Amino acid sequence: MTKRFKVVVTDFLNDDFILEKEILDDIADIIPAVALKEEDLVGIVEDADALIVYHSISIREKTLTRLKNCRIISRGGVGCDNIDWEFARGMGIDVTNIPDYGTEEVADSAIGMLLTL
């Protein structure tokens, strides 16, 4: 039997995880963590193989040092400023982001604001 990975979604925009399940369902269990601060992750992330981090929480050294199996942290957004990526990389954890996240929405908003002038 193949080992299933544990992917913790630390915070999220909606709770259906349709996209995450579509991509990962064959190989991973997706664990939702409704976390607003790092302390909310205690007891949830320690054995995670991966984290998906959105907007509401920061992942710093205090959490990173507890990650025993984690190999990747994926930031569901443009930047990685809410993740101590230098410390994570020093631990051998890759940190990724989505550089084109929300580009259409930002463009639509900008055009809408221009039209109001």
The model's pTM is 0.85
State yes or no: pLDDT of 64 exceeds 90: yes
State yes or no: pLDDT of 14 exceeds 90: no
* Topology, domain 5-115: Rossmann fold (3.40.50)
According to DSSP, residue 78 is labeled S
pLDDT band at 1 (very low <50, low <70, confident <90, very high): low
Contacts of 43 (CB under 8 A, 6+ apart): none
Contacts of 100 (CB under 8 A, 6+ apart): none
Mean pLDDT of the chain: 91
Mean pLDDT on 54-76: 95
Mean pLDDT on 69-76: 96
Q: Domain locations in the chain?
A: 5-115
The pLDDT assigned to 26 comes to: 94
pLDDT band at 90 (very low <50, low <70, confident <90, very high): very high
Dihedral Cα 23, 14, 75, 70, nearest 10 deg: -60
Contacts of 6 (CB under 8 A, 6+ apart): 28, 29, 31, 47, 48, 49, 50, 69
